[in-house]
């Protein structure tokens, strides 16, 4: 595998994305580890700092201190900034009133090995950039639209048990929307589009949307209270290309977390933070809805497109076919679905990558459980939205298995790889299922050939080990091997005591 990175050989223009670096005090360099953590380091800008050199050569980083990046004997790495991502940070994100006059620029970096050894094969951003390069060679461009849900809690309480053992501690979340806590509580599963008098996070969402637009040029399309009580929200933004959208997910999560911190709250992206503690099973039938990250995908012929404005007036959405009476979905789109369904069990290890993810994937909470497809059917893992008719721009495939604990660079790339495998092999997805699969009898589901997603991280990881060839399109062996190791360590840690408290300790900051 090789990816042609565009080197910066020309003099850096300081007026980039309306950022005048001469007026900046500090530059924040962001990068993402294998698990999806959006890490940050900083440099100070002054007369002794050569900014031209910084944008060309980057800044050093100890790769052995970043989980999964490098061994201690190969730890010297570089962060090379992508200056197209350069933006001014909203001071209220990180600074108190005492230092709010400081000016900070932020930029997302690609990770390189030191000593001129090229791109790091364990950089998640490399994976998404590589598949975009592959699609471009096939005259295609991918548009991605994630729906990232999360909870905004007032507090997460960790309490040790009577013996003082951390691994048996009790965990409790506190929200102003809970009965017995708030003045205007919301019933469980009753939060969807909550009216303003009950919606405790209306101003919060407005503030997040304002910062995303002003500081990051991210246009929010809708911002609503989600189904669960206890402060579940969803803020969507306009679809864009694969790597750019993954960047935006990282920025979005960062903005939400820091605005929550400034408001003395906690943003939590665990797939299922509200569930009944059950040490004997990974499956629960109680609690409230979890947080998903439904991902919409469309593929376009890359003819004179304008990525900055997401306009494709001279391009063709290859998933759209106005002659198809069922969902105006092309045969190519069906093959794409066939690939996603065929690899759904192994995909789960990447798009639902935590032990806690499988608390979410259970019947009764609007989460996907069954490997099937249909139009407008939210009980299937793949849905074809049909809100609009005769609109080629809106034709897309929605994959409902992903959750916000996943690394967006890896998740989006894996979905496209699976779909592309279906296109190449012409994998038939079978007939659509046009009824509520949750209410079907087991015998009927079996008769229709409808299988379930894995019931645990261990099952999905085993599926990935036996079904990963389709990922060779963009996943270097090094990143998959490291991913297996990290995830197996999580499974081993939870093997003897997989409690709710342990899941919070592992994943409260995913």
Q: Is 234 a catalytic residue?
A: yes
Q: What is the pLDDT of residue 27?
A: 94
User: What average pLDDT does this structure show over 45-49?
Assistant: 73
> In terms of pLDDT, which residue wins out, 258 or 368?
258
Domain formed by 15-120, architecture: Roll (3.10)
* pLDDT value, residue 414: 98
Strand order in the sheet with 38-44: 38-44, 26-32, 104-113, 76-88, 59-62
Give 346-377 pLDDT, tens digit per residue.
999 999 999 999 999 987 677 889 999 999 88
Which among 82, 147, 177, 288 is annotated as catalytic?
147
* 311 classed as catalytic: no
The residue annotated as part of the active site, out of 33, 334, 400, 403, is 400
* Residue tagged active-site, from 110, 132, 149, 288: 149
* Confidence (pLDDT) at 363: 72
Q: Is the pLDDT of residue 204 over 60?
A: yes
Mean pLDDT of the region 53-77: 88
| Predicted confidence band of residue 8 (pLDDT cuts 50, 70, 90) | very low
pLDDT confidence of residue 308: 47
Does the annotation mark 478 as catalytic? no
pLDDT digits (tens, 9 = 90+) for 376-400: 888 899 999 988 888 889 899 999 9
Q: Which of 23, 25, 50, 62 is catalytic?
A: 62
Which of 37, 378, 455, 505 is labelled catalytic?
378
Distance CA 209, CA 227 (A): 20
Confidence category of residue 457, pLDDT binned at 50, 70, 90: very high
- Count of Cβ atoms closer than 10 Å to residue 232 Cβ: 28
Catalytically annotated residue among 294, 360, 383, 396: 294
Determine the average pLDDT of the residues in 500-508: 89
Q: Is 378 a catalytic residue?
A: yes
Side-chain half-sphere CA neighbours of 20 within 13 A: 2
Active site residue 276: no
226 is catalytic: yes
The mean per-residue pLDDT over the stretch 488-496 comes to 87
pTM of the model: 0.92
> Of these residues, 110, 199, 207, 226, which one is catalytic?
226
Bridge partners, 77 (sequence order) = 61, 113
Our answer to whether residue 149 is catalytic in this structure is: yes
Kindly indicate the confidence band of residue 4, based on its pLDDT and cuts at 50, 70 and 90: very low
What is the pLDDT, as a whole number, of residue 282?
Answer: 41
Predicted local distance difference test score (pLDDT) of residue 304: 54
382: its two tokens: 């793949």
For the ranges 15-24, 483-492, 498-507, the maximum mean pLDDT occurs at: 483-492
Average pLDDT, the chain: 88
């Amino acid at each position: 595998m090789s990816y042609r990175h565009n080197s910066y050989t020309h003099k850096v223009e300081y007026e980039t994305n309306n950022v005048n670096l001469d007026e900046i005090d500090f530059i924040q360099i962001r990068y993402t580890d294998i698990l999806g953590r959006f890490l940050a380091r900083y440099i100070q800008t002054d007369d002794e700092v050569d900014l031209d050199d910084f944008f060309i050569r980057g800044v050093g980083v100890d790769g052995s201190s970043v989980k999964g990046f490098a061994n201690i004997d190969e730890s010297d790495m570089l962060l090379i900034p992508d200056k197209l991502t350069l933006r001014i940070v909203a001071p209220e994100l990180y600074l108190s009133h005492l230092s709010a006059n400081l000016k900070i620029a932020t930029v997302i970096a690609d990770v390189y090995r030191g000593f001129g050894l090229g791109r790091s094969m364990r950089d998640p951003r490399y994976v998404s950039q590589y598949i975009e390069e592959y699609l471009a060679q096939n005259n295609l461009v991918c548009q991605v639209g994630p729906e990232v849900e999360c909870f905004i809690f007032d507090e997460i309480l960790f309490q040790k048990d009577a013996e003082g053992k951390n691994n048996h501690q009790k965990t409790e979340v506190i929200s102003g929307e809970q009965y017995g806590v708030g003045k205007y509580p919301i019933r469980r599963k009753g939060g969807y589009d909550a009216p303003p008098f009950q919606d405790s996070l209306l101003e919060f969402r407005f503030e997040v949307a304002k910062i995303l637009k002003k500081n990051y040029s991210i246009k929010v399309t809708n911002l609503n209270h989600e189904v669960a009580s206890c402060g579940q929200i969803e803020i969507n933004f306009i679809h864009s290309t694969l790597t750019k959208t993954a960047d935006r997910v990282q920025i979005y999560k960062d903005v939400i977390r820091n605005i929550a911190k400034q408001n003395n709250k906690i943003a939590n992206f665990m797939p299922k933070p509200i569930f009944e503690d059950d040490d004997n099973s990974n499956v629960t039938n109680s609690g409230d809805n979890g947080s998903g990250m439904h991902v919409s995908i469309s593929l376009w012929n890359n003819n004179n497109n304008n990525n900055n404005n997401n306009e494709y007036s001279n391009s063709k959405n290859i998933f759209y076919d106005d002659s198809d009476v069922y969902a105006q979905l092309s045969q190519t789109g069906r093959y794409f679905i066939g690939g996603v369904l065929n690899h759904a069990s192994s995909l789960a290890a990447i798009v639902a990558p935590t032990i806690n993810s499988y608390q979410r994937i259970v019947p009764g909470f609007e989460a996907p459980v069954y490997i099937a497809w249909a139009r407008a059917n939210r009980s299937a893992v793949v849905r074809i939205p049909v809100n609009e008719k005769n609109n080629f721009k809106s034709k897309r495939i929605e994959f409902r298995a992903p959750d916000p604990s996943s690394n967006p660079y890896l998740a989006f790339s894996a979905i496209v790889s699976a779909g592309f495998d279906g296109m190449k092999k012409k994998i038939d997805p079978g007939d659509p299922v046009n009824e509520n699969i949750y209410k079907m009898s087991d015998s009927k589901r079996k008769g229709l050939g409808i299988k379930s997603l894995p019931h645990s991280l261990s099952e999905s990881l085993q599926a990935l080990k036996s079904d990963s060839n389709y990922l060779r399109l963009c996943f270097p062996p090094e990143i998959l091997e490291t991913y297996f190791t990290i995830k197996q360590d999580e499974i081993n840690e939870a093997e003897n005591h997989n409690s709710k408290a342990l899941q919070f300790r592992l994943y409260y900051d995913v």
